Amino acid sequence: MTPRKSLHLLGLIGILGLAVLFTTQTALAWPAASPPTVPVQATIPPPPALPANFRGVVYVDGAYVPAGTEISVEGEGGVYARSEAFMRDGQSRYAVNVPEDNPFTPERDGGSPGEVLKFWIGGQLAEQESTWAVGKVEELTLSIGEEPPTPTATATATATATATATEVVTPVFKLYLPLIQK
């Protein structure tokens, strides 16, 4: 064995010896009766369910409501969600997500399956109701009173014909191959 290999071997034996010594001293340091325990909180709440989503047109007494009008959704536990009306394509619309009730809080803060929901337009109770369900997506027109007038479409047809004569040129390709004679 070369001197260099023997030094490596001695170094390895020394490291193993320290590891055994450290392990032995560490093991003797714990009381034999019981190892230390750490309390663990094992209750992890589940992720929240998908909210119920409601959206649609909103109007009061035959007119679309102005942008910014508050839309709120109320259930058995009070108001669960709020949103504001916005204008799109000449109509006032709304979109609101109603969360599921959090079972880890004492107060009701969201819907539960089958719960009846009431909708409010600017503090006035709308004529429509719906029910809460996980992940529900519902197109629901909210209204108080009569519907807004239906816009009438006016069709205007304009036809213009223009004829232009053009000459079509067909390209001709000629291929010249050299004659090779022997």
Partners of 72 in the β-ladder: 82, 120
Which pLDDT score, from 0 to 100, does residue 117 have?
A: 98
Please say if the pLDDT value at position 126 is more than 80: yes
pLDDT digits (tens, 9 = 90+) for 83-105: 999 999 999 999 999 999 998 88
Give the residue extent of every domain in the chain. 52-144
The fold of 52-144 is Immunoglobulin-like (2.60.40)
- 3-class SS of residue 100: strand
- 3-class SS of residue 21: helix
CA distances (Å), origin 120, targets 16, 71, 172: 76, 6, 77
Of 78 and 158, the structure prediction assigns the larger pLDDT to: 78
Is residue 71 within 8 A of residue 58, CB to CB? The reply is yes
Residue 145 binned pLDDT confidence (cut-offs 50, 70, 90): very high
pLDDT digits (tens, 9 = 90+) for 15-48: 544 444 444 444 445 555 666 676 666 677 778 8
Of 170 and 133, the structure prediction assigns the larger pLDDT to: 133
Sign of CA dihedral 86, 88, 92, 95: negative
Q: How many residues does the chain have?
A: 182
pTM over 0.85, yes/no: no
Q: What is the spatial distance between Cα 165 and Cα 18, in angstroms, rounded to a whole number?
A: 100
pLDDT digits (tens, 9 = 90+) for 169-182: 666 666 555 666 66
Which pLDDT score, from 0 to 100, does residue 46 have?
A: 78
